Amino acid sequence: MRSFYAPAQATHAPQRELHNGGFTAYAEVPARAAAILAAIGGAEAPRDHGVAPIAAVHDPAYLDFLRDAPALWAAAGRSGDAIPYAFPIVGRRPLALSRIDALLGAHAFDATTPLTPDSWTASYGSAQSALAATHAVLGGERAAFALCRPPGHHAGRDYCGGYCHLNTAAIAAQAARDAGIAKVAILDIDYHHGTGTQDIFWARGDVLYASVHADPATDYPFYWGHADERGEDEGEGATLNRPLPHGTRLDAFRAAQGELLEAIAGFGAGLLVVSFGADTWEGDPISDFALTTANYQVLARDIAGLGLPTVVAMEGGYAVEALGANVASFLSGF
């Protein structure tokens, strides 16, 4: 399978993250990409498709923010990574503030996504990998893999969060729409619900968002991904959520994914984007599902059974020692 990765994606390397009330080492490390590359035998560098397909999903002011925030942070006399600590909760009036802390809070839904001077370049490369995989599939490849790191599915139109800055799956789906594919489906099987992807396509009927994930009653991101969230307006019924409990194994995961695959088949999608996270693995350090390495091939075979041109976009997976084997197992199912 053709795979895509830009070397600049390795440059984003925050020092630490706020985790359960204290600072811990940042889990979303560059070594994740190196482990995957080693297991799949390398990847092609993506062609540069420019900023336009990114701006088709994200607000221009947010893209400016991602580029400028680290310099504003340094100009405010701060050392280290830029981290927000105050947020405009729902109901506050929109204010155009320029103080770096106000900008950070206005463009993030959590405090676990530090920005470094390299975050923009790395995430831009991650988005280009998603676009290259999408164009490979549009050009006739049965499936292609975008080694997106930093990941993307928590990033919304104008906010970052959950280690994500640019929503690579959404950028891929939108690029397929803009290339003339009338309906696109996104299947998200990362351990965490894809907050940003759901928000981006919430009121749209042309892109189906379907996710299996840990129940947000117990797990991050808490405020998104409950079973009764089904989209609105044109998008009513085009968001599908299947929250599952801690300890979930292949049988229950596969059954939930199977329901979503049936819905995707009925939707009439011309292209599928899979947000694939290996943080559902039994040994993941920040997650609580119990899939095995071999299980990923089974899940991928079920997905491949749809017969749709498929873009696989990497999301989470934090057990670096097993990540390469887990990704290779999944890709082997195609």
What does the binding site for ligand Q9C look like in residue numbers (CB under 6 A)? Answer: 19-20, 112, 151, 154, 162-164, 190, 192, 220, 277, 279, 286, 315-316
90: exposed, middle or buried (C-beta count within 10 Å: 0-12, 13-18, 19+)?
exposed
Q: At closest approach, how far in Å is the CB of 147 from ligand Q9C?
A: 14
Residue 40 has a CB neighbour count (10 Å cut-off) of 18
Give how far Cα 24 sits from Cα of 18, 31, 219, 251, Å. 6, 17, 18, 33
Sheet holding 239-244, edge to edge: 2-4, 143-146, 310-314, 271-276, 184-188, 207-214, 239-244
78 binds, among ligand Q9C, Zn ion, none (CB under 5 to 8 A by kind): none
Confirm or reject binding of residue 216 to Zn ion (CB under 5 A).
no
191 binds Zn ion (CB under 5 A): yes
Contact criterion met (CB below 8 Å) for 281 and 293: yes
Give yes or no for residue 196 binding Zn ion (CB under 5 A).
no
What's the closest the beta carbon of residue 323 comes to Zn ion, in angstroms?
A: 12
Choose among Zn ion, ligand Q9C, none what residue 220 binds, the Cβ cut-off being 5 to 8 Å by kind. Answer: ligand Q9C
Kindly report the backbone phi and psi dihedral angles of residue 47, in degrees, each rounded to the nearest multiple of 5, phi listed first.
-65, 150
Whether 154 sits among the annotated catalytic residues: the reply is yes
Question: Closest distance between Zn ion and the C-beta of residue 278, in Å?
Answer: 9
Chain position carrying tokens 């797990």: 219
Nearer to Zn ion, 225 or 316 (CB): 316
Q: How far is CA 178 from the centre of its chain?
A: 20
The DSSP bridge partners found for residue 188 are 211, 275
Which of ligand Q9C, Zn ion, none interacts with 20 (beta carbon under 5 to 8 A by kind)?
A: ligand Q9C
Cβ of residue 211: shortest distance to Zn ion, in angstroms?
A: 11
Show the beta-strand stretches assigned E in the chain. 2-4, 16-19, 22-25, 143-146, 184-188, 207-214, 239-244, 271-276, 310-314
Residues 256-315 interacting with Zn ion (rule: CB under 5 A):
277, 279
Of 191 and 296, the one with the shorter C-beta distance to Zn ion is 191
| Of 154, 165, 192, 213, catalytic | 154
Longest pairwise C-alpha distance within the chain: 55
Question: Which of 138, 155 has the CB closer to ligand Q9C?
Answer: 155
**Residue 224 interacting entry, from ligand Q9C, Zn ion, none, C-beta within 5 to 8 Å by type:** none
CA distance 248 to 289: 5
Beta carbon of residue 12, minimum distance to ligand Q9C (angstroms, whole number): 13
Residue 53 contact partner, candidates Zn ion, ligand Q9C, none, CB within 5 to 8 A by sort of partner: none
Which one-letter DSSP state was computed for residue 223? S
Active site positions, annotated: 154
Residues binding Zn ion (CB under 5 A): 190-192, 277, 279, 316
